[in-house]
């Protein structure tokens, strides 16, 4: 399972989750920050990443283009970094299962914003 965090999520999340998920990266690692969503989509697809984002545009892409790449859409507004880390860890089993199932392209995660 390879996870790619969108630019609307702090790059600091990598350090907080590096021991919990097999392979994680941030757009910053690929010098893709402030680039078109379509380029991010293509890069994630080419490198077999699941995109984690707050951005509905990626969901729209999945409806039009299909998947891969898969997306994990956070529908809680912008969460504090530690709250987002907590959300992902609470759902680690669901994320793993989602990554393995070929029939699903989007996983929706929600949490109350603190």
Q: Which residue has the tokens 């990554």?
A: 99
pLDDT at 25: 95
pLDDT, tens digit (0-9, with 9 covering 90-100), for 53-93: 999 999 999 999 999 999 999 998 778 999 999 999 999 99
The answer, yes or no, to whether residue 100 has pLDDT greater than 90, is yes
Q: What pLDDT, on the 0 to 100 scale, is given for residue 5?
A: 96
Give long-range contacts, CB 8 A cutoff, 24+ apart: 71-74.
71/105, 71/106, 71/107, 72/3, 72/98, 72/106, 72/107, 72/108, 72/109, 73/106, 73/107, 73/108, 73/109, 74/109, 74/110, 74/111
Helices of type H across the chain: 13-17, 37-46, 56-65, 81-90, 92-100
Q: Rounded to the nearest 5°, which phi and psi values hold at 112?
A: -65, 135
- Residue 114's pLDDT is 52
Name residue, tokens 């600091």: 12
pLDDT at 113: 57
In the prediction, which pLDDT does 33 show? Answer: 85
pLDDT in tens, 3-33: 999 998 999 999 999 989 989 999 998 888 8
């Amino acid at each position: 399972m390879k996870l790619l965090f969108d630019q609307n999520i702090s790059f600091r999340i990598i350090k907080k989750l590096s021991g919990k998920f097999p392979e994680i990266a941030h757009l910053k690692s690929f010098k893709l920050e402030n680039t078109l969503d379509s380029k991010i989509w293509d890069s994630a697809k080419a490198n077999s990443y699941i995109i984690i984002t707050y951005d509905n545009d990626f969901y729209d892409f999945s409806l039009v283009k299909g998947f891969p790449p898969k997306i994990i859409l956070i529908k809680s507004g912008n969460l504090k970094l530690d709250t987002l880390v907590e959300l992902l860890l609470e759902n680690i089993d669901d994320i793993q299962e989602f990554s393995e199932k070929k029939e699903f392209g989007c996983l929706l995660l929600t949490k109350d914003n603190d």
